[in-house]
Amino acid sequence: MGEVIVITSGKGGVGKTTTTANLGAGLSKLDQKVVVIDTDLGLRNLDVVMGLENLIVYNLVDVIEGTCRLKQALIRDKRYENLYLLPSAQTKDKTAISPGQMKKLTAELRDEFDYILLDCPAGIEQGFMNAIAGADRAIIVTTPEVSAIRDADRIIGLLESNKLKKMDLIINRIRIDMVKRGDMMTVDDVTEILSVPLIGALPDDEQVVIGTNQGEPVIGLDSKAGMAYMNICKRIMGTDVPFMELSNNPGLLSRITGLFKKD
């Protein structure tokens, strides 16, 4: 019986789609059968981040409307064993499906997959309601910024009032140099405000941009973000993995020159 996880944030542009793609790839590397679903109707993106945009024939709305069978719409990612994508529709909007239909769809997918990851659209409207309808747990993605944390707090409140109690927090795009200078909130600052258990803290990593340029998840690359995503996948599966140190330990010389550097 699979687990349905919604990846949500409230605010747009904090890394929901990238996170969904990487967690999907990571869990499949850990021998899990995974399907990632793009629930952002009208603004299809997950396929592009994963580099599967040329393989789309049918989409989520086709499945729900019965235009095709579920199997026909699932795109297999050939680079990973047991990773599938159910793309969103680019020409429909959020009213094309209902929370009840999403619930039915995720229930069907549970028999077939170990993990069903839902990439939630930004905002708190029907698209959000659709995405959370069938979910067992939520992963909230935020960045250490005032607006993103504020939106995350609203989302957490909405999840609680919709009886979705199992949730974890990912803090994305941490710049350790700025944290050290006192110009970016720390992981502890953010978790204290949101009071949701932390499942991962990701450094702001150039490799993520390079990965999305190429349509390749960073989880396959040797990078800090890739390793952090892999650790999150293990924690999702219930393994206790210690949080990694985000700062690169600078050598003695750079530490000395750092002392004289004027900010």
Partner 1 sequence: MLRKSSVSIAKDRVKALVVSDRVHCTPDVYDNICRELFGSLSKYIELTEDDFQVNINRTQVVITFAGEDV
Residues forming contacts to partner 1 in the complex (CB under 8 A) are: 145-146, 149-150, 153-154, 156-157, 160, 181-186, 189, 193, 195, 263
Residue 129 contacts residue 101 (beta carbons within 8 Å): no
Q: Which of 251, 252, 234 is nearest to 243 (CA)?
A: 234
Nearest distance from C-beta of residue 132 to partner 1, angstroms: 17
Nearest distance from C-beta of residue 168 to partner 1, angstroms: 16
* Beta carbon nearer to partner 1, 34 or 194: 194
* Beta carbon nearer to partner 1, 147 or 239: 147
* Beta carbon nearer to partner 1, 192 or 206: 192
Tokens of 91: 């020409």
Nearest distance from C-beta of residue 153 to partner 1, angstroms: 4
Cβ contacts of residue 109 below 8 Å, gap of 6+? 2, 4, 35, 70, 116
Q: Which residues pair with 116 in a beta bridge?
A: 4, 35
* Beta carbon nearer to partner 1, 111 or 263: 263
* Beta carbon nearer to partner 1, 11 or 44: 11
* Beta carbon nearer to partner 1, 65 or 145: 145
Nearest distance from C-beta of residue 174 to partner 1, angstroms: 13
Nearest distance from C-beta of residue 248 to partner 1, angstroms: 21
Give me the amino acid identity at 44.
R
Residue 119 contacts residue 39 (beta carbons within 8 Å): yes
Nearest distance from C-beta of residue 148 to partner 1, angstroms: 9
Nearest distance from C-beta of residue 136 to partner 1, angstroms: 20
Residue 157 contacts residue 23 (beta carbons within 8 Å): no
* Beta carbon nearer to partner 1, 198 or 237: 198
